[in-house]
Amino acid sequence: MRIFGLLILLFCFGWTTYGQNLKLFGTVTDADTNNPIPGVVVSVRPAGESRIIRHAYTSTEGKFELSLAKFPENHVLHFANMGYAPKTISILPERLEYNVQLSMQATELKEVVFNAPAIEHRSDTIIYHVENFAEIEDQTLADVLKRMPGISVEPSGQIRYQNQPINRFYIEGRDMLGGRYGIATNNIHQQDVSSVEVLENHQPIRALQDISLSDDPAINIRLREDAKARWVGTLRQGAGFEPLLWKSELAAMRFKENTQTLNIYKSNNTGDALAHETRAFSIDNPIAQFRRGYRLQNYVMVAPDQLRQIEDYRSRFNNTHLFSTNNLWGVGQHYDLTSQITYLNKRLTSDNATLTSYFLEDGAIVTDEIEHASSHENRLMGDITLTANTPTYYFKNRLFANMHWSDMDIQVEGTFPNSQEASTPQRQFSNDLEILKRSGNRAYTVNTFNLYQVKPHHLKVVRDDDVQHQHVETSAFYTNTNTALSLHVNPVTFSMTLGVVGVVRSLESGLTGVADTLGRMNNDETMRYLNLYASPSLEFNRGSFESRLNIPLSFIPYRYADRIEGENQHEELFFVSPRLTMRYHVTQRLSASLIGSYVQRPVQEQSFHESLIMNNYRNLSLGVVDFDTGNSKSVSFTLRYRQPLRAVFWNASLSRSWNYSPYIANVYFLDPYLLNALFKQDYNHSMWLMSGNVSKGADFINGMVSLRSSLSVFEGATIQNAIESPYTSHSLTVSPRITSRLSTWFNMSYEFSFSRNWLEMQSTGMQTTYQNYRQKISGNINPARKWYVRLVGEHYYNEITADQTKHFLLADAEFIYRLPTGLEFAASVRNIFDQDVYAYTIHSGLRAINQEYIIRPRNVMASVFFRF
Amino acid sequence: MKLKPCSLALLIIATNLIINSIAIAQEVLDQAQYRFYYDYAWEFDTLTLNDTREDLIILQVGQNMSKSYSYATFYYDSLRASSDGERAMRQIRRELAISVVETGKPPTGFVRGAMGTRVYKNYPEGQMTITDRISSNHYVYKDDLNPHVWQITDSTKTILDYSVQMAVSDFRGRRWTAWFAPDIPISDGPWKFSGLPGLIMEAYDTEKHYRFIIVGIEQVEDEPIVFSPVVAGYRLYGNFEETTRLDFLRGLVRYRWNSSAIMNAELGKTTFDETSDSSRPHDLIERDYY
């Protein structure tokens, strides 16, 4: 019984404890209107303090409820809401209900004045700090640029931001290199760069800064303080074997406040190309779009067959030296003077064998040649540019000289054995002047480009029984002066380029050692013409629809004089080539575009030679003096879908083109020559091109999966021995691909590609096909910061003939050990399996060409690299 | 009733003015009564912690809803809300171009708002609307209003002469500490923070990757809170794409890791070397997207 009582006592005690759980409640209303006030903060605070122990908000009916463990001694209930005067009530021991009225009062906060920083320079700029993107294997600025989100570097070296090519490349705010920024990105060490600034919507011409909108981005490189105003650079020295290999690269540069200089010297015989470093990327010309150049045709065409199916370095047997110096001097506040001088010395050798089958109506002709070629090339280029860039006018003058000496020696065995020596030098001088003057809200521009080019070429062919000599001297003077204007009346923009082009070209050639019966052997002619052109373009954008119509118009009077025959021909022609592009954004993700164009081909005035010219030991060509031209019409439709959030992208396109030419290429088989002549006959050929690509991000492998495919169909004809042979050629390619970053220290990519080609001759029903498979796998392993390994494997399976196929396995490995000071040791092996030959077959016109190339054997290299 | 030519002309002019302002006007959501400025600092590389970015965040508090956004967008908003917006902006750029020439320095630019996120709380009622971007694509998604679960502690200190009290919360993968002012009964804060019985004056995560601290308090009148549209280049163009919070975060992480692969996919060819993508993305402010 006592236990029961004890239990009851405990129970009551327990009850009492729970009973002490306080629930405070009440209603808060407006003192004037008596309406409930929702959202009032009701808080329990120690008296005199701001600290909140517990709180609740009033409901839409103004009611609140607060639970406390026990009665809080010396605490208050605080009621506050913006727009009302706060109220405080002491919490009393026995009181649970608290109904309160609040009076409206503007809540005054103690203001704290903050002066927002003045927005001084409002270009849209994104800054990437290099040290946060650079990885162990990165050396040059180009290596790090590739890692910055939004920035991509194409294999050619062109930099894009958000898929748009940049329109300027600055170093510390100055444009020293013009379009040749490859020299900087490939040679400036990433540890000398502090940040990369992307200037979106960059208008490089100050005078146009608020009247011409720019969609293009630009990049500005900011160097680290310790890399400025002193000589910095890098040096790499490597050696290897089979045979003796070397590689030297030195880059030295200094960037001061008003002068900049970047110099490089590179040389190797490891197959690596150097010429691309000084390549100029066409920087978008915001003033006027016009073709800056005229190219004299090469009549002597002696060149070794080039292998393009596998990476260049595998088949290039070279000995190359490159030297380049680039300088900038700031002369005055708005004037910059820059210059560049480049010298390239290149020797190449190659060995290959070719079996060519020509399909004729009455059978096939097969020829074979085994070729050993060696060439020696010297190039010297220089330019000097003066630029003035102020808010009211812009001036830029570039003087450029390009001298090129090239000698080629080719020994051929086979069906037509011979030895060729060709010398194809070239000299070119040009001047490019741009002036822009701003007046109020309009800008007036004039551009004038002048070029002089001369090519004195020579070819000698020695055969068992005779010798041929061909010399061809061509020269041209070209000038193009134009202006541009534009008018914008929402939503239409009208712009027009007006200009005059003048050309004076002369050709003088002579051939000896070939039978007279084939044709005339000497040419001496001049072609002069003017091109008065207007290129209007109309742009219409409204909402999701964008369209652009270009209608280039040209009026060209030609004057042709043949000094040998003593005849002159005059002709005046008028050309129109409209082009319409329309794009419609169906939804945020899907867009469709339709492009249609009609192009009138220009007169092939460089084929105006009625005498023979020997191009190489096998080909002779005969031109024709005729002012008829062809045209082409094309239509293409593309659909594009992008869902970046789920990393889904696909696009599909279909295009069709119809081409008409008043001539058709005719080949006469007159052993040992092929005589290429133009036959005056209407020739129509057409083409279908279809492609489809799909990509999807795959989170489980942390990468992407994609599939690309394309199909092209060509219908045309060729004339051989004066007989027309119509034919159809199909080509299909399908390539799936996976890239994956399986962990932070390993990433890889795998690609497989299948291609098939069919050739069908309509009249004989002859068919020939070939197919190839290719796979490539590459991976980077980087387990520790100091060293990493790169592996590449390529496998090719080529169908050489119907019953002959070949496998090729090419593999490379590279190992790099890098110390934090910047010193690096590298070892690499290329072509680990020591493959010596690469063979494949392709179709070209009505020919099947089977080729075999000698490729570089296993090359082992070790090199040291450091920066200073 | 025949319209006199004079009235007709006036009607045309008036219509043009109205159409003009509608075309450029933006959706006004509320009228702000207070403006709070926060300094926002964040670590771009959460592995090495030596690249801190800074930005200024503005919190506009109105009667019914609030908006938190980056200062860099401030000028765009107020200029474009006026019918003369485009012309006024060009004028500013022109003057700046001249001043650049006069000071002899090339355009260095103002760091673009590091936070492209704009948070509209209680819009629509009971929810938050967030707009943000990945590269040049703009997205909008809805989130819960007051998603934090706060534990209020006893610690107090002073910020800008206001007494503040500490609260902690485990929010979407990070442990946050916030200091709120009981004397300012606005249940709001920078970015997505809210739900405390006072204005949040400071907030940071325990790893100090993200920090907000108040630097200014202002009372305002007749200041509209607008829903900022997508601005691409110089033209008002494009719409927000609707999505969900988790899809957006995953897309953002994927972009930071794989921008070359994405670029290749967009172009439909393998132009860019995908093995060069960064292997060290920084962690997002919300980490629960796995």
Taking the CA atoms of residue A167, residue A172, residue A176 and residue A181 in that order, the dihedral angle to the nearest 10 degrees is -50
Complex ipTM value = 0.74
Radius of gyration, CA atoms only, chain B: 22
Contact A748 B152 (CB under 8 A): no
CA-to-CA separations, A366 to A671, A718, A762, in angstroms, rounded: 12, 17, 20
Residue B47 has pLDDT above 70, yes or no: no
Buried-state track B32-71, b at ≥16 Cβ within 10 A, e below 16: bbbbbbbbbbbbbbbeeeebeeebbbbbbbbeebbbbbbb
pLDDT of residue B75: 53
Residue B9 has pLDDT above 60, yes or no: no
Q: Which residue has the tokens 């960037």?
A: A255
- Chain A: closest CA distance from residue B206 (Å): 22
Buried-state track A322-334, b at ≥16 Cβ within 10 A, e below 16: bbbbbbbebeeeb
Residue B127 has pLDDT above 80, yes or no: yes
- Show the tokens assigned to B205: 């995560």
Q: Which of B93, B218, B275 sits opposite A749 (nearest CB)?
A: B275
Give the number of other CB atoms < 10 A from CB of residue A384. Answer: 15
Contact B264 A695 (CB under 8 A): yes
A221: nearest CA in chain B?
B108
Do the beta carbons of residue A232 and residue A821 sit within 8 Å? no
Do the beta carbons of residue A584 and residue A592 sit within 8 Å? yes
CA atoms within 13 Å, Cβ hemisphere of A169: 24
How would you class A598 by CB atoms within 10 Å of its CB: exposed for 0-12, middle for 13-18, buried for 19 or more?
A: middle
pLDDT of residue B93: 52
- Show the tokens assigned to A484: 């541009």
Do the beta carbons of residue A455 and residue A297 sit within 8 Å? no
Which of B264, B282, B283 to substitute to test the interface with A, most A CBs within 10 Å?
A: B264
Is the C-alpha dihedral spanning A271, A277, A279, A283 positive or negative?
Answer: positive
- Chain A: closest CA distance from residue B57 (Å): 11
Q: Which residue has the tokens 């995953």?
A: B250
- Chain B: closest CA distance from residue A749 (Å): 7
* A155 chain-B contacts, CB cut-off 8 A: 271, 273
What is the C-alpha to C-alpha distance for residues B194 and B149, in angstroms, rounded to an integer?
Answer: 10
Contact B185 A333 (CB under 8 A): no
A107: nearest CA in chain B?
B184
A695: nearest CA in chain B?
B265
Q: Return all residues near A739 (Cβ < 8 A) that are at least 6 apart.
A: A703, A704, A747, A748, A749, A750, B261, B274, B275
Which of B273, B283, B289 to substitute to test the interface with A, most A CBs within 10 Å?
A: B273
- Chain A: closest CA distance from residue B4 (Å): 30
Which of B278, B282, B289, B290 to substitute to test the interface with A, most A CBs within 10 Å?
A: B278
Contact A210 B33 (CB under 8 A): no
Supply the CATH classification number for the domain A238-282+312-328+335-867: 2.40.170
Mean pLDDT for chain B overall: 72
pLDDT of residue B268: 52
Contact B243 A645 (CB under 8 A): yes
- Chain A: closest CA distance from residue B133 (Å): 10
Q: Which of A124, A645, A745 sits opposite B112 (nearest CB)?
A: A124
CA atoms within 13 Å, Cβ hemisphere of A470: 29
Q: Which of B165, B182, B258 sits opposite A704 (nearest CB)?
A: B258
- Chain B: closest CA distance from residue A790 (Å): 11
Residue B46 has pLDDT above 60, yes or no: no
B182: nearest CA in chain A?
A50
Which of B108, B230, B255 to substitute to test the interface with A, most A CBs within 10 Å?
A: B108
Do the beta carbons of residue A175 and residue A338 sit within 8 Å? yes
Q: Is A744 on the interface with B (CB under 8 A)?
A: yes
Do the beta carbons of residue A370 and residue A347 sit within 8 Å? no
pLDDT of residue A235: 92
- Chain B: closest CA distance from residue A371 (Å): 33
Residue B106 has pLDDT above 80, yes or no: no
Contact B272 A146 (CB under 8 A): yes
Residue B97 has pLDDT above 50, yes or no: no
Residues within 8 A of B (CB atoms), A 97-136 only: 107-114, 116-117, 119-127, 129, 131-133, 135
pLDDT of residue B6: 47
Q: Is A784 on the interface with B (CB under 8 A)?
A: no
Contact A109 B134 (CB under 8 A): no
How would you class A118 by CB atoms within 10 Å of its CB: exposed for 0-12, middle for 13-18, buried for 19 or more?
A: exposed
CA-to-CA separations, A178 to A309, A429, A445, B2, B286, in angstroms, rounded: 32, 18, 20, 66, 43
CA-to-CA separations, B236 to A107, A544, A831, B81, in angstroms, rounded: 38, 12, 55, 12
**Comparing C-alpha atoms, which of A532, A572, A528 is closest to residue A552?**
A532
Task: Considering only residues B283 and A252, tell me which one the structure prediction assigns the higher pLDDT.
Answer: A252
A799: β partners: A805
Phi and psi for A607 in degrees, rounded to 5? Answer: -95, 10
Q: Which of B72, B261, B263 sits opposite A703 (nearest CB)?
A: B261
Q: Is A152 on the interface with B (CB under 8 A)?
A: yes
Q: Which of A50, A149, A748 sits opposite B163 (nearest CB)?
A: A50
Q: Which of B259, B262, B272 sits opposite A154 (nearest CB)?
A: B272
A156: nearest CA in chain B?
B271
Do the beta carbons of residue A725 and residue A717 sit within 8 Å? yes
- Residue range(s) in chain A whose domain bears CATH number 2.40.170: 238-282+312-328+335-867
Residues within 8 A of B (CB atoms), A 374-413 only: 390-391
pLDDT of residue A504: 95
Residues within 8 A of B (CB atoms), A 47-66 only: 49-53, 55, 57
pLDDT of residue A211: 62
pLDDT of residue A661: 92
State which residues of chain A have pLDDT below 70.
1-20, 115-126, 132, 136-137, 149-150, 163, 201, 209-215, 282-292, 441, 490, 644
Mean pLDDT for chain A overall: 86
* A112 chain-B contacts, CB cut-off 8 A: 160-161, 214-217
* A60 chain-B contacts, CB cut-off 8 A: none
Q: Which of A50, A215, A706 sits opposite B233 (nearest CB)?
A: A215
pLDDT of residue B238: 60
Task: Considering only residues B27 and B121, tell me which one the structure prediction assigns the higher pLDDT.
Answer: B121
Which of B136, B254, B280, B282 to substitute to test the interface with A, most A CBs within 10 Å?
A: B254
Residues within 8 A of B (CB atoms), A 183-222 only: 197, 199-201, 206, 209-211, 213, 215, 220
- Residue range(s) in chain A whose domain bears CATH number 2.60.40.10: 2-102
Residues within 8 A of B (CB atoms), A 567-606 only: 588-589
pLDDT of residue A590: 85
Angle at CA A464, nearest 5°, toward A458 and A467? Answer: 30
Q: Which of B100, B251, B275 sits opposite A645 (nearest CB)?
A: B251
Q: Which of B48, B233, B265 sits opposite A695 (nearest CB)?
A: B265
How would you class B8 by CB atoms within 10 Å of its CB: exposed for 0-12, middle for 13-18, buried for 19 or more?
A: exposed
- Chain B: closest CA distance from residue A57 (Å): 8
pTM: 0.73
B154: nearest CA in chain A?
A51
Taking the CA atoms of residue A647, residue A202, residue B227 and residue B88 in that order, the dihedral angle to the nearest 10 degrees is -170
Least confident of A412-421, A669-678, B5-14, B153-162: B5-14
Domain A2-102 has CATH 3.30.70.380: no
- Chain B: closest CA distance from residue A34 (Å): 20
Query: Which helix (DSSP H) or strand (DSSP E) does residue B251 occupy?
Result: helix B245-257
Do the beta carbons of residue A509 and residue A585 sit within 8 Å? no
pLDDT of residue A146: 80
Give all strands (DSSP E) within A47-111, no chain letters.
54-57, 63-68, 75-80, 87-90, 100-102
- Chain A: closest CA distance from residue B2 (Å): 33
